[in-house]
Each structure stands twice: as structure tokens, then as C-alpha cells.
Structure 1
Amino acid sequence: MDDGTRWIELDGAVNARDLGGLPTTDGRTTRRGRVLRSDNLQDLTVADVRLLLDDYGLKNVIDLRSDAEVRLEGPGPLARVPSVTVHQLSLFPEGGRHTDVAADTADTVDADRALPWQERSSDGPEQDRSLGLYLGYLTDRGDSIIAALRVMTRTDGSSLVHCAAGKDRTGVVCALALDVAGVTREAIVGDYAQSGERLEAVLRRLRASDTYAADLDSRPAGSHRPNAALMEKVLARVDEEFGGTIGWLSDHGWTPDDTEALRSRLLT
């Protein structure tokens, strides 16, 4: 990792970074090398795997993709490393015989859910469709979010959370974890928006995949850019409806011990 940034330079992934170095409201910072985030991992090279294992002590991968995405894209080379545990924790509602997404089949993925487009209108009350999808992760898969955050508390090395682009599902889960840790809202939103710096590279990778290419090619690239205001809206809605992230988590089985474990793990 470049000491001047939190980016992790890999040959087989382009949106990988460390959640360390972020400021908290009480003047602390998040630890480096504890929780990493990334886009899809199936193209990691041997050198990439060695870097993650040797430099970051990677032990746990939190894969937020649906069953169909994993089946079509592959689990990636880290699934073949005995010292690494892959936790598949889809954020889509269960439905159907083959996949976590009711609209998916054995041969297709609902890319409109997997890669939300932020400038599209919605028939619902949400100001944009992505806000509804982001909040849907909380409504539909609180179990997966709780499990993902609990993996982050493990003390046996670092954890890496990812989805397809490393922006939407990964962005929401990371934002919730950072909020529990007490990271400032400005830094949480900034981390989410930082994926925009690698957007073109992310889109090139996804266009090379039959799983996502058709949907990507049908829409302008700019509409996929992470908008800081969107994450602000998500966190504000959680504040308004649940009294904050810990309030929402508590409603889904999260405990004060979980909060203490996550903070101890993530903070200096």
C-alpha cells in the first residue's frame, strides 16, 4: 500500500483499499491492515494473493455477491487458500431455487441490483433508485450485515469485504462498520465516494465479464459514479428511523459486546 493513500495496488483488482487511517469523532483513527475493501477478486494473480497474505495477514473474505454471481464469475483464487475462510453473505433477499435474487436464474444475474444506477427515477418514495436498493440491503439481509461485521471483529488477521464493483454493497457494509467504530461522517462518506477515483478501471473490468457487460453497455458510465449525497441520505435515514447504526444493528441481534469487539479491532 502507498503510504500516502489507502489504495492497495493489485494486478487483478482495481478498487482495493485499506479502511485504516480514518479519523473518529473522539480523535482516534482506524487501524491499518484490519479491514480491507475491494471489487471482485476472481482475477487476482499469484503475486496479488501473496501480497494480501504476507503484507496484510488476510484470513477472512466477506463476499457480498449473490449465489448466481459466485457461480457465474467464480469464487476466485483466495477460495483455494487453506488459511483463508470465505464467508458468502449475499445482501439480496432469498428467492428462487438457484440464487439469492428472485430474478436471477442459473444463467443470468440481475445486474441492475448488483450494479445500481444512481440517476434513474423510481416509482417509490425514494429520491433515487439506488437509495431504495441500499436501504433494501438493510431491510432484506440484516442477517448478512450482522454476520459481515462480526467477521470483522475476528482477531486472526485481516478481513476483506467485496462485491462486484466494490462500491454499492461493499460501500454500505463498510459505512455501517465505520459508523459503529465512531468514524466521522465526513470520513465515512469520503471513503464511499473514493471509489469514483477508480470508476473507469472498475467499469473496464466489469465490461469484460458476460455477467455484467450488457447492463453496463446500456447505460452512460457517469451514471454509475458514487455520489456522496447518496451515502449521506442512507446514514440520515438510519438515524431517523432507528436512532443510528447501532440502533439498527441492535434490532437485528447486535450486542454491546459486538460493538466493543469491533471498536477494539478497528481503532488505535
Structure 2
Amino acid sequence: MSENRIPDVSATERWIELEGVVNMRDSGGLPTRDGGTVQPLRLLRSDNLQDLSEDDVRHVVEVLGVSDIVDLRSDTEVSTEGPGPLWHVESLTHHHHSLFADGRAVTAEQALAVPEHSTRPVRDATFWSEHYLGYLASRPDSVSAALDVVSRSSGATVVHCAAGKDRTGTVVALALAVAGVPHEVIVEDYALTGERIEKIIARLMPRDLYGTALRQQSVDDQRPRPETMQTILDTLQEEFGGATGWLSQQGWADGDIERLRTRLTT
């Protein structure tokens, strides 16, 4: 196993097992290039939080120490699904930063990256990488705002969308890149969601908003592929000098970038 490779998940216990989610895990423990690690309970990633039980809510607040929720779902998803159980917890601050245009009616196909009129197979990694780069091109304000929340949070921040795979994967990848996590580790962390893809789809399939779109695909169509995230990181490096360069173009000062890096690693 290479020096920067993610240790066995069962050993690091990065998966967070709750009744109401299937794809929540902690970024804590991932190595950085300078020999450090991402600190535990700073940045959590998850599928949607609509089904949390009372025990789950208690665990999120009292054990995980979550203070902020970053919801990347579209306005359509948020309004259709309604408020989840965490909305009623006064100690939590909710931040909604859709990765789709404001006021735009978003279909389930768009939210889950299921092409409605495309002849390219969904399993083509080029399709997925273009889709993720579209988030950065069309909603840099939301991506930047989500990362700003992480940098200023007093406790753990949960970043989530519907599946915790595409939108969440893009935002978390940028955060980890700023923290100094090697690209190969970020890629492996992104692909780790593949271990839970069947459970993720089973959670979303009964929901009116997502079920029809998901039935158009096989499980493998939605499975994350390492080359997709590698393309995103390579593109950021080639066009902006990396995630920090991209944030600089969004108006982040050196101190802002250092605040995010410090929050995740110190």
C-alpha cells in the first residue's frame, strides 16, 4: 500500500452508521502532503438527511458535534422533500447553496445527472466529469459559499446533496485539495461511495422525486469512477493552478484560503 493511500475503512472507522443515512463518512484521518492529516469531525459528507431518527439527530448533535449543515440540493428538491428533522434543532445553522441556477425548476434527471436527451452512455466518465465541471462553471458562488461555511464552522460541518456522490463529491474534493490531501487520495475517497451505491439508490428509489429517473439506469450507471474525479483535479490544476487558484479567482484572499486549510488540518 502506498504512503498516501487511504487506510482500510474498517480500521479508520470513517463511515458513520446511522439509521437514516447510508453514505455519511468523516474526512478525518486522510493524509496531507506535509505529513499531517485532516482532523476528525471537521468535514463530514452525506446523502440526504430527510430520514434521520431521533437517535440519529441526537448522535449528530451530541456525539459528532455538528454545528453547520451545507445543503447542495436544488430549490426544487428542497421544496419537494420538505424540511428534515435537523431543521428543528436550534443549535444547527443550515446553509442552502444550490448548484443549479436560482429559481430554475430542476428535474430529478438533472439533480442525479441522468441525461434526458443524450446519446452518450451515463457510465462514460467524460459525461460525469463534464457534469461536475459544470457545477464550478455555473455556480461558483455556491461552491465558494459552501467552502466558506466549512472554513468558519465552530463544529463539524455536514455537506450533503441527495446521494452524497456528485455535488457533495465535487465540493468535498475542493476542500480536501485545499487542505493538501494528495490527488490520488481524494480520488480514492470519492470512489469510496461506490461501496454504498446500492444502498443509496435503494433509499432514493421510493421517493417520487428520484425514483423515475433512477429506474432509467442500472446501478453501475450511478457508480462513481476514479477517472471522473481525476479529470476534475487535473483540470483545476491545468486551468487554475489547483483548487486554491480556483478559489483565488472567486475572490478568496490568501488569508481566506489559509483559514479553510487551518480549519481542516489543525
TM-score normalized with structure 2 length: 0.91
The equivalent of 1:68 in structure 2 is 76
Within the candidate set 77, 92, 100, 2:85 is matched to: 77
- 1:130-145 matches, cutoff 5 A: 130-145=128-143
Secondary structure, counterpart of 2:135 in structure 1: helix
The 5 Å alignment of 1:1-268 reads 4-94=12-102, 99=103, 101=104, 104=105, 109-117=106-114, 121-122=119-120, 128-268=126-266
Distance (Å, rounded) in 1 between the aligned partners of 2:258 and 2:83: 32
CA contact (8 A) 1:131 1:230 kept: yes
Quick one: distance in 2 between partners of 1:216 and 1:254?
37
Moved more, 68-77 or 175-184: 68-77
What CA RMSD, in Å, does the superposition of the two structures yield over aligned residues? 1.9
Pair 162,127 (structure 1): closer, same or farther in 2 beyond 3 Å: closer
Q: Secondary structure at the match of 1:91?
A: coil
Percent identity between matched residues is 50
CA positional deviation for 1:5: 2.4
Q: What's the TM-score once normalised by structure 1's chain length?
A: 0.90
Give CA-to-partner distance per residue, 1:39-95, whole Å, 9 cap, x none.
00010111111101111111100000011100111231111110101100001123x
Instruction: Show the counterpart of 2:4.
Output: none
What count of residue pairs does the alignment treat as equivalent?
A: 254
Structure 2 vs 1, CA of residues 166 and 197 (structure 1 numbering), >3 Å: closer, same or farther? same
C-alpha deviation, 1:122, in angstroms: 4.7
| Deviation for aligned residue 1:117 | 4.6
Question: How much does 1:112 deviate?
Answer: 2.1
CA contact (8 A) 1:122 1:128 kept: no
The gaps in structure 2 that reach 5 residues or longer are 1-8
Specify every segment of 5 or more residues in structure 1 that has no aligned partner in the other structure, as ranges. Answer: none
